[in-house]
Structures are given as structure tokens and as C-alpha cells.
Chains A and B, each alone.
Chain A
Amino acid sequence: MTFERIEALAPDQASLAAARKLLKPSYWPALAEGEGLAWGECQGSGATPYRVVINEADAGYKCTCPSRKFPCKHALALMWMRADTPAAFAATTVPDWVKDWLSRRRGTSTSPSKTDDEAKPKTRPSIRLTEILEAEADADPKAEQRAAATRERNRLEREAAVLAGLEDLDTWLSDQVQQGMANFVAQAAQGCRTIAQRLVDAKAPGLAGRLDTLPTRLFTLPGPARPSAAIRELGQVHLISQAYRRASDLPELLAADARQAVGWSVTREALLNDSEALRVNAKWRVFAVLSEAQPDRLRRIETWLWRQSSADGMPQCALLIDFVPISTGAAVGNYLVGDQIEAELSFYRSTIPLRAQINTLKTGAEQSREPLMLPDEPLSASYANYEHALAQLPWLGTIPLSFRAASVRRNGEQLYIYDDESGMSLPMHTSQANHALPLAGPDRIDGIGLWNGYEFTLAWAETQLGRWMRS
């Protein structure tokens, strides 16, 4: 636990300032540690002290105070004290209330003190799943059959609703094509909102979300590029809808991609319990953390990982996605750029496996100075890999592209990542025009970034002046 991590976790400066006031030992009648956890009791204004616990491996935390900020000032203060004065924590056995919290956590981690048997990869079920499992254990076979039949009936009803929604989508798409994309761009906000609502009703939230956010994505592009971008985006929507209807004719993984794109989600528990899911055990390095507020008042936090140890034929990178309520103020996940973890990841089924969940965390996050183990390939080679992936998964979204010996060049205000050897260049995200400007020049850099088909977001660069990381 470092101050940088605590600062990054704090929802705002006020929380940090409030935590600072709680650093006096007199506020903490009890402070203890054990098995990679630290906990304490903080005397608040009430009669009963708040109970606070933190997990050092993944910066997880829990406090019994009623604050709606996460982490609250008590959790931040405990982290801070842990970083500043670790000697103040007495080593002791983990109390029941801490064990209880640990058992309810959705995250999985192994603590250093666990035996080999205990440290074996295993899934720690969520509270909800625990309840379900307990209920299942007690249920009689007939009730189980009825529940299964209900689930199947619901599934069929949803399939029918989705297909009906896709019919409406086709009609809407035909109307847009008849009126032309130049016209569509002018009315994209209203048009997309209407069809997105229809698709929500049709229980196809994936497509609905894609269409709902389309106008925003279009308006981040220069005006002249928008109509052709609309063709690309709406073309993908139609492609997904067609693939979904013809899923039985497609390879299994592509069919799974189509179902996920439409909105059939796979729960975390289901993924972790799926014995056939692709699992990769390796050292992973966080090379980018992206945070975006969504219209549904959730913040989507993307943690991009790069595999640092060899695992032939396995995915080189992975994407962890977390959603947190915007109201909590949390803007980052549990990991910071530069963190290294050793973990087994389970990948969602896909033609191009990318999104994953942590199955077993073997070592907690630690900042590392080591460089990323980037392949010895220029930008053009990475881009060729992207094209290959795009051919396999036509609605492929954002994907990492690594590069060696490229440079950042400028044309007006627009920055480009430029491959001197091939002459290829990718326009960089406009939001980086200022922050990446110090990189502009003829100096060659190695690095990695995220390509969304329109703009390249530089995430990490090794330069003559040291490491540059997206802030």
C-alpha cells in the first residue's frame, strides 16, 4: 500500500483530507493485521466504533460506516496508517467479522499464509450465489424441476422477444439507409434513442447500449468523417443481428460473440465455474486504466492487462471491466497503471479472447519498474494482426496495439503515432493532444496503446527520457 495508490483510490480530495484527520492513534482503539489483511476499529461520533478492514493484495476494503463514498474516510485512513506506520498494527488471528467479509467478497485472492491446498485455484462464491447454493441444497427435486422449467420458459420468451426486436431493428436500419447517412448523422441522437429503447424492451441490452452511445461516439469525430463512421457502426449492428439469427450456422465461439453482443450476459460466477473457459495463469501488468461515466449512472472502469510471462498460444492481453455507481465518486478500479499481479484469468468465450475475470489472484498488486515485454514488431505488424482479428470477429471493438521504434508526430493540433519504417500512421485520440505533446518529435519510442478503429489512445511508452504513461 503506497500513498499513490491511496490517493488514486480516494473518491475526491475532501475524502483524503478527512482521512488525514483520522490518522491520530487516539481514534483507533484497535489496529491489527494478519493473512494479508489489516483491520481496525475507528471511533466515530456514535457509541459503537466503525469496523474497517482492508485487503492489501487488491486494495479491497469494507467499513461499517454509513458513508456513500467508496472508499470512505475510515478505509482511506486505515490504508494510510498501514502505509505510514505498519508497526502500529498488532499481528493477531483474523476475527470472525473479518473472515465473514472475506467470505462474502466477490474477488478472489490467496493470502500468503494459506497452505498449498488452500492456495489451489478455487472460486469464492458471492453472497447471492452462496444463498442460491444453500437453497439448492435444501430444495426438493420437484421444486428444482419447476424452477428449471420456469428458467427455460423465460429463456424462450426472451429469445422470441429478441428476434422480434431484431425485426424492428431491420426496419429501422432500412429507413436510415433510405434516408441516407448524411441525414442520419443530423438526427442521430433522437433516432438512436428511440430504437435503443425498443431494443431494451426486446431484452437486447447489448445492441441497445451500442446504439444509445453511437451519437456520442460519432460526435467525437470530425464532421466530415461522421457519415462514413455511421455506415461502419450501423453496418456492425446489422451484422450482429444477422449473426445472432444465424447462430446455428456459425462456429461456436463466433455464435457466443454474437449472443454477447446482443446482450446475453455471462455472469461472473458462471464464467468462473465454466471448466471449459480459457484460463491463463501468468504474470500480468496493468498498462492502462480507462474510466467512463455511462448514461445509466454507472462508471465503467476498464483495466487493461499485458501478459508478462510466457504462455504460448494464449492471449497476450486481457481486459477486466468493473462497473461502479457514479455517486460513489470512485474513478479507478483496484489496480493502477504499472501494477503487476500474478493471477489466473478466465476469459469469456470469444473468437478473440480479451475480456476476462480474475479467477485466482496469486500475488497482490505491486508497482514494478520493469519494462513491458512487448513483441519486437513495428506498428505495421501490430496493425496487420488487428486486421486479421477483425476478419475473424467483424464487430471487434477496441484492441491493444503494441509498437517498436515509432514516433509521435504532429500535423496541426492532431498527433499521430508514426511508423517510420512503413510510413504508416494512426491518429491519436484528440484528448491526448496536450498530454502526449511532449513526446512529439523524431525520437523513436516503444509502447502500447488502444485502437478503436478511429483513434489510437497511447497508454504506455518507453522513451529516452524514461517511461511515459497515460494519465
Chain B
Amino acid sequence: MNLTRLHAKVLPSLLGGTSRHPLPGDLIRPSNSDGTLEMFTLMGQALRFERPSTPESFIVEPEIKDERKIIANSLRRPLIRLLNAKNATEHLPRALARAFDRLRLRPHPFDLPLIDAFVRSNAEKLGPIAQHWADRQKPEAETRSYFEPELLDESNWTQPTLSRRSAYLEHRRREDADAARALVESTWAQEEAEARYRLLQVFQTGLSMSDQTFLNTLEKDRAPRVRALATRFLARLGASSESPALAACLERIKQSQSGLLRKRTTLQIELPANVKDQAASRWILQTFADVSFGELGGALKVAEKELIAAAAKDEPLLLALALIATNERRLDLLELVVAGLPNAWERMFEAGLDTLGTMTESERQRWEEIVVHPYRKDVPTTYALWDWLHRITDTEAPASVMEIALHAKVLTKVLEHERGSGPWVEMMAAICLASQRQKLREQLTKFDQSQTVTPLALLEILDGMENDLTHV
């Protein structure tokens, strides 16, 4: 009996049951009472010898060019171990992702499944292959080809990760705002909502009346946040019929004159009666988030710097100005505001500021210096404050800030006052610049060894990423 006959005559009976579909009589030896089971076994063995079928076609895997070097082999295991460590804080992956981006390195492709959560959260900083991995379960229509050229120009700026595209556009806006806008307009229809929002944010740089036509078209964008941002820009340009945000601010600002010999303008916020002290900072953030120094000064008929002087005696208004300066990336103005509001760090944290917008890394570091320096003599040892600072700046602490923290022996104070100082130590390791790691290591020797395992591992890996020459 051949295989074809077995399949045709025997298999249907065995699948459906021989009581309903008896086996053909000629296939079973009558002398053998066990014939049915023999046939069953024979069929089973025949099936075991059938070779698995090959699909008619296979998916053609996209070829993704990634010019970054793969991290050295010696760092792969420690990296996987660290990223999968139990109870580790998010400071560790954040610091690692930054290092990958800064050093133009990428994880080994074989490790991507083992650090999947890290890759998904930080795909933009890990190169095109990692980004493709993170997008693998997205519908095909939402994915795009990933290519990360070393140098960007007008012909290839759409190919790399969104963060690099934003940075390139920012650069172009500084050089030639109109040409940059033309670039965006040419690809706008193909961009997804997140990309449209991030690219539009860049228009803050070099915003001018020539952007008005383009911004007008965005008032009907599908994404509400894109529409809101476009409306805000139009209001700044004075092109919008009215700015509800500005009106809401002016409603609460009391303008008066003071001084005997020389009259000076003074400004003060009158908080709504239902806003209690603790909620005041949040109310200020919500109310002043969408106005600019220019709009406010224009409406109050006061120059930008005079605005700060006029608010000098009103802490809530200074906070509002600090938030506006941050939002507008006007670090020169922020510095003036912080001179009158030395606890701006704590006040902005209370307000719930959660982004520094499109600030570049150097701007974020400068911003951090401005808000931390007034604390030089008495650096706070509240974990939530430092945690927020790292989260919002997403960068290493500037050398001067880290120097303040190390000199003030923040960690030692923490050790004395707080139990469970693990997150503290991890955060300090994550924000520490390479040049200050040795000093940090010295301070870490005072801690229980079990609390410094992951921070020291992070420092080792970062050292390895920066100095190992065996990246491939």
C-alpha cells in the first residue's frame, strides 16, 4: 500500500472514527483481530515520515542601513543584565539611551528581543534598526523606511529618526526659516500626527509673518494638538483674531504704578478665589502656558526686561514669567527671573512643568544650571526634585551642577536621613559626567554594597561605551 492510498482510504476513517467510517475491508487482514490498530499505527508512522511543507513564499525582510557601530561584545551581557534588573529606576535606561545616541552606537541586533521594553521606549536614540524593531507590530502603512545618514541635507532629511529630523529642521530654521518651512510643507501630508506636532514645534525658532499662510492651513489639521499649536503661533504673530490665552492672563494681572520720585510699573497676579495656595503653581502653569513674553509685554505695553522688573515683588508672576521663558527657550530672560525667584526649581516642579519643549541639549544643560545655581549653599535633598530635574532635562547634569551636588555631599546626607537610597544612587550615576565619575565612585563607597551594584554597573557600561575600541 502506498502513501497516497493510505491518505485517501485510511486517514478519513481515522479522523472521523471507524464506527461511522469503517476502514476498507481489503486493507485489514481478516486473520488479525488487531488490524484496525495496526492500520492506525501504520498511518501514524506514515505521517511521521512526511516532510513539512514549505510555504509558497516568504516575507522579504527590509534591508535597513544602520551606520552606527554595534556595541562591543564585552558590554552586551552587562547591558542586558542592567536593563532587566528588578526594581531598577528609569534613570538607568535613560542614561544608556543618551549614551547610545551621543556616541552613535547601537545595541546588537540579537539583543533587541532581550531588551525589548528599553528599545520600545528609546527607539529614536538607538538607531534605525532598533526603531524598525520597535515598529515591527505597527501596521505597514504606519511604518517607514529607516535610514540614518551621517550628514543630513534637503534630499535625505526625511529618512532618519524624528529627533534628528527635528534637530535638522531647527538648524535650517535658524539659517533660513522660509526654506525650512518649504521643506516641511513638501512632506506635511505624509507625516503622522506625532511627527507633525514635533516638526511644528520647531517653528518657534524664527517664527515670522511669512509662516502665517502655512499656519493658517493647520487650523484644520486632524490632530487637535497640532491645531492648538498652530493657533498659538498665529496668536503670537498677531494674526489670530483673538488670543483667549492672553485674555485670560491679562484678566488676572493687576498693573499699577509705584515709587515716589520715579514712577515704576508694578505687576501682580490676582489668583482666583477658588485657587488655594497649593494649587496656585499649577493654575499659573495652565494659564500662562500659551502666551509669550512678546504678547504679554505688548498687551501691557512694557518691554520684556521691564516686565521682569515690574514683577519683582510678586512671586507668582515671577513663576509665570519663568515658565514662559522656559517655554520660549529665552534663557537670558529666565536667568533674570531666577535672580528674583531663587527657588524657581521647586516652584516649577510644583507647577508640574513636564517638558522643556524643543530645547537642545546644551540649552537644557544651561537651563539646569540657571535653576540649580541659586541653591549652591543649600542643595535640596528631596529625591522627587532631582528625579524631576533629570526627567525633564534628559541629559547629564552640567559639570557645575554635579560639582555642587558632590561638594555638598548630597548622597551622604541622603544616606543619613533616608532609608532605601537605591534610587538616589542610580540617579546620581545616571546624571554624572564622565569626568566626575571617579569622585562619585568615591562617595558610593560609603553605601551598602547591595545598593550600589546597579549604579556601579551603569558607570562601568558608560565607561565601556565611551572608551572601548572594540565596537563593530
Contacts and interface: CB of A to CB of B under 8 A. Distances in A.
B210 to A, nearest CB: 47
A182 B18 CA distance: 12
Given A179-B19, A180-B17, A465-B110, A7 B86 contact: no
A394 B45 contact: yes
B36 interface: yes
Given A20-B449, A23-B449, A232 B16 contact: no
Interface residues of A, number: 57
Contact of B41 (A174, A238, A423, A426): A238
B17 A178 contact: yes
Contact of A178 (B19, B48, B85): B19
B61 A232 contact: no
B141 interface: no
A178 B23 CA distance: 10
Contact of A409 (B14, B16, B36, B59): B59
B52 interface: yes
B275 interface: no
Interface in A13-44: 13, 17, 20-21, 23-24
Contacts, number: 134
A181 B18 contact: no
A423 B21 CA distance: 37
Interface in B434-448: 448
Contacts of B110: 438-439, 465-466, 468
Interface string A217-250: 0000000000110011111101100100000000
A177 B113 contact: no
A383 interface: yes
A416 B55 contact: yes
Given A180-B17, A182-B15, A437-B113, A411 B57 contact: yes
Contacts of A181: 14-15
A387 B15 contact: no
Interface in B378-413: none
B108 A466 contact: yes
B40 A177 contact: yes
A63 to B, nearest CB: 20
By secondary structure, the A interface counts as helix
Contacts of B61: 410, 440-442
A384 to B, nearest CB: 10
Contacts of B59: 409-412, 440
Given A423-B54, A434-B113, A438-B110, A239 B45 contact: yes
Interface string B104-146: 0000111011101000000000000000010010000000000
A152 B85 CA distance: 56
Given A234-B44, A465-B108, A179 B17 contact: yes
Contacts of A232: 44-45, 47-48
A231 B11 CA distance: 9
A5 to B, nearest CB: 12
A233 B44 contact: yes
Interface in B44-84: 44-45, 47-49, 51-52, 54-55, 57-59, 61, 70, 73, 77, 81
B40 A238 contact: yes
A153 interface: no
A441 B43 CA distance: 36
Nearest to A463: B110
B263 interface: no
Nearest to A183: B17
B20 interface: yes
Contacts of B453: 20
- Which of B14, B16, B61 is the most central at the interface, judged by chain A CB atoms within 10 Å of its CB? B14
Contacts of A424: 51, 54
B118 to A, nearest CB: 15
B53 to A, nearest CB: 8
A173 B43 CA distance: 14
A371 interface: no
B217 interface: no
A232 B81 CA distance: 42
B17 A177 contact: yes
B40 A427 contact: no
Contacts of A236: 41, 44
A453 interface: yes
A211 B40 CA distance: 17
Nearest to A471: B114
A287 B37 CA distance: 39
B47 A228 contact: yes
Nearest to A19: B450
A390 interface: yes
Nearest to B109: A438
Contact of A425 (B36, B41, B52, B77): B52
Given A20-B453, A179-B17, A440-B61, A425 B45 contact: no
B43 A235 contact: yes
Given A177-B14, A238-B40, A435 B449 contact: no
Contacts of A227: 15
B37 A170 contact: yes
A468 B18 CA distance: 48
A4 B77 contact: yes
A369 B11 CA distance: 49
Interface in A386-413: 387, 390, 394, 409-412
Interface string A174-217: 10011111110000000000000000000000000000000000
A283 B454 CA distance: 37
A471 B114 CA distance: 9
A231 B450 contact: no
Contacts of B73: 466
Give the one of B61, B77, B85, B133 with max A CB within 10 A: B61
A61 interface: no
B153 interface: no
A91 to B, nearest CB: 26
A438 B77 CA distance: 17
A170 B42 CA distance: 15
Contact of A235 (B19, B40, B86, B114): B40
B34 interface: yes
Contact of A21 (B19, B116, B449): B449
A418 interface: yes
Nearest to B116: A434
A439 B110 CA distance: 8
Nearest to A426: B52
Contacts of B113: 434-435, 437-438
B105 to A, nearest CB: 15
Given A4-B77, A174-B36, A435-B113, A17 B15 contact: no
Given A4-B77, A235-B40, A438-B113, A180 B16 contact: yes
A235 B44 CA distance: 5
Contacts of A434: 113, 116
Contacts of A177: 14, 17-18, 36-37, 40
Contacts of A435: 113-114
Q: Which of A390, A438, A440 has the most CB of B within 10 A?
A: A438
Interface in A423-471: 423-427, 434-435, 437-442, 453, 465-466, 468, 471
A76 to B, nearest CB: 13
A179 B13 CA distance: 10
A466 B58 CA distance: 24
12 contacts: A177-B37, A182-B17, A231-B40, A235-B43, A238-B44, A416-B55, A423-B54, A425-B52, A434-B113, A435-B114, A438-B133, A466-B108
Given A234-B44, A410-B58, A411-B58, 9 more contacts: A4-B77, A7-B81, A177-B37, A181-B15, A238-B40, A437-B113, A438-B110, A439-B110, A442-B61
The list of the 9 closest CB pairs from A to B, nearest first, reads A235-B44, A180-B17, A409-B58, A411-B55, A425-B54, A235-B41, A438-B109, A178-B19, A441-B61
Interface of B: 11, 14-21, 34, 36-37, 40-45, 47-49, 51-52, 54-55, 57-59, 61, 70, 73, 77, 81, 85-86, 108-110, 112-114, 116, 133, 136, 448-450, 453
